[in-house]
Amino acid sequence: MANLKELTHREDRLAGGHRLCAGCGASIAVRQVLLGAGEDPVVVGCATGCLEVSTTIYPYSSWKTPFIHNAFENSAATISGVEAAFKGLKRAGKIPADKTMKFVAFGGDGGTYDIGLQALSGAMERGHDMVYVCYDNGAYMNTGIQRSSATPKGAWATTAEVGAAQQGKIQRRKDLTQIMAAHGIPYVAQASISHWKDLTTKAEKAFAVEGPAFLNVFAPCPRGWRIPSSQSVEIAKLAVQTGFWPLYEVVDGEFRHTVKVHNRKPIEEFLRPQGRFRHLFSPGNEELLAEIQGDVDRAWDRLMARCPQA
């Protein structure tokens, strides 16, 4: 389990001075995940998106690791190839047999839930020894806050407008964490930047397993969510406390609830502070708000039924 005193002595592999927005959840997620990599060298791949464009503005880079910029859709494919090449060079005797290295791919929800899902699924199915991390901010933030399949029902986005025809996104969000668990890979976990110890511990486990691992990290976007930059962590915490974003892991197919929430708060407490949900609290949307609460309740009950310790 992650130890705070020990973590303070580990190198921060993402330098400050990058140009991500103040309060961006992505940079917090990356720093916490890479702390879990330990002392081994790490090769990072990153899909096109907020994280990539804001940390690698030519001629500068915020990364203290070997870094590969990938296309929007192929971060998982690229890092799986690097991992395969590393193993091949070891077999050929061109790299010492006892040399160790970690491989991690980062992508936002657009490049993971949607356009990168095929590459991600293929890398996991092939069994590459790598970690894939999705920083989930709930939309295509880098290109203009378009809705993705991670965007929650009822949320405003530039391609899910609020008006007479609809009140934000009509569909429920995709449950990518359980889709990845269905691949039967050694380790899958859902985490949040609001719970650093839980996230860093899960990162340590993900890097430690032999074979593929997947982390889905809740990472608020102040710009897209219409919240003050100072509230990112608090909003992420409310997502956990309301059951919108349960924290759990799946180890060799066994589900475990890692941060217990015995008295869930109403989903309204997570939605109300965010400008993207402001319309839900206008007269006439009471039924939609109740529908969202019902969706959260049903998903929570299904998950808890799979977690024997819950």
What integer pLDDT is reported at residue 269 of this predicted model?
Answer: 98
pLDDT at 28 over 80: yes
Nearest CA among 178, 206, 157 for reference residue 302: 178
The answer regarding whether domain 4-306 maps to CATH 3.30.300.30 reads no
The string of DSSP codes covering 128-177 is -S-EEEEEE-SSBTTTT-B--TTSPTT--BTTB-BSSS-BS--SPPP-HH
What integer pLDDT is reported at residue 239 of this predicted model?
Answer: 98
Q: How confident is the model at residue 308 (pLDDT cuts 50, 70, 90)?
A: confident
pLDDT at 302 over 70: yes
Which residue would you say has higher pLDDT here, 11 or 82? Answer: 82
Nearest CA among 120, 17, 21, 112 for reference residue 63: 17
For residue 76, report the phi and psi dihedrals to the nearest 5 degrees: -65, -40
Distance CA 289, CA 295 (A): 10
Q: Average pLDDT of the chain?
A: 96
Distance CA 264, CA 290 (A): 15
What integer pLDDT is reported at residue 12 of this predicted model?
Answer: 87
What integer pLDDT is reported at residue 2 of this predicted model?
Answer: 65
What integer pLDDT is reported at residue 7 of this predicted model?
Answer: 72
User: For 99, how many CA atoms within 13 A lie in the half-sphere containing its CB?
Assistant: 15
pLDDT at 54 over 60: yes
129-143: average pLDDT:
98
Instruction: Record the pTM.
Output: 0.96
Kind of pairing between the strands at 248-251 and 254-257:
antiparallel
Give the range among 2-16, 92-106, 169-183 with minimum mean pLDDT: 2-16
Q: How confident is the model at residue 118 (pLDDT cuts 50, 70, 90)?
A: very high
